[in-house]
Amino acid sequence: MTVLHLADDGEAADLAAFLSRLLHYDRSAAVRLQAVGTALAVFGRPPSFEVLAIRAVRLAKPYEDGLDVTLDVTVSAGELLESLDERAATAAVPKAVTGPPWAGVLPPRSGWRAEPGLPAPQALRATVSAAVGEFRSRTEELGPDGRTRAALDLIGRDIWSRTVGGTRLPVRAVHAAQSLGFLRPRTEPGDEAVLLSAGAWLRLRTPFGSIAVRGAGLGALDVSVR
């Protein structure tokens, strides 16, 4: 059994929180793990948002004690969470599962460039709050009989596909970042959210994790408010 040694209990707690949030949206969620050296990337896809969520985790020692040895496997998020020992800062890698389609299409590792126009984190959180409020208000106006799936989808398409500031980033990506704990306040200067692009991909990167959306997926919908 492969055991990952995380940098400290704080890294373990943050990973546990990320996995718990993914499981909130999908009890059968899978995550793809990629590790090389002392860096571990955990990829997940909360279905309510139609985005790719990425949590970077620091390891205490190189994976398998070798920089040239890599881990690349898709596993159950629930089983990984169960194996996580926060006090010991370790996690046993569960057996591999058949990966969902999204697990085979990940963002590039390099070639990213900064995109202008992204508002500050406080403004991003305000955007999410306003969008959630608008969604609830408009659905309440429909009345019980009018809240059909088609009607909710229409409202969701209008709200969540809007772009943020002067960027191409859809509001649903910021909503996902907020819901997964990636837009928490941070006191250190210079650790603000950044918008990056690489080919067909856009990536909202924060000190706590990233949200990526790709190409035609920019038009996908999030009609949930949880």
pLDDT of residue 68: 66
φ, ψ (nearest 5 deg) of residue 43: -105, 135
Calpha distance 140→143 (Å, rounded): 6
| φ, ψ (nearest 5 deg) of residue 59 | -100, 150
Q: Whole-angstrom Cα distance, residue 115 to residue 203? A: 10
Whether 108 maps to a domain, the answer reads: no
The amino acid that residue 46 corresponds to is P
Q: Is residue 226 part of a domain?
A: no
Could you tell me if 25 and 69 lie in one domain?
Answer: yes
d(CA 101, CA 103): 5
pLDDT at 192: 81
Question: Residue type at 5?
Answer: H
> For residues 153 and 221, is the Cβ–Cβ distance under 8 A?
yes
Q: Residue 163 corresponds to which tokens in the numbers above?
A: 């772009």
Assess whether 97 and 127 both reside in one domain.
no
**Residue ranges making up the domain that contains 168:** 113-219
Per-residue pLDDT of the chain (226 residues; tens, 9 = 90+): 789 999 999 999 999 999 999 999 999 999 999 998 899 999 999 988 889 999 999 999 888 776 667 899 999 999 999 999 999 999 999 999 998 999 999 999 999 999 999 998 889 999 999 999 999 999 999 988 888 989 998 998 899 999 998 899 999 999 999 999 999 876 566 668 999 999 999 999 999 999 999 974 443 333 343 3
8 Å CB contact between 157 and 142: no
Pair 197, 164 in one domain:
yes
Which CATH number characterizes residue 37's domain? 3.10.150
Phi-psi bin for 196: left (phi > 0), alpha (psi -120 to 50), beta? beta
CA distance 179 to 46: 10
pTM recorded for the entire structure: 0.89
Q: What are the strands of the beta sheet with 194-198, ordered from one edge? A: 70-76, 30-36, 39-44, 52-58, 209-214, 201-206, 194-198, 113-114
67 and 15, same domain (yes or no): yes
Q: Are 3 and 92 in contact (CB under 8 A)?
A: yes
Which residues are paired to 140 by β-bridges? none
Q: Is residue 225 a part of any domain in this protein?
A: no
pLDDT the model gives residue 50: 87
- Residue 63 is predicted with a pLDDT of 80
Query: What is the model's pLDDT at position 21?
Result: 97
- Domain presence at residue 9: yes
- Are 97 and 175 in a shared domain? no
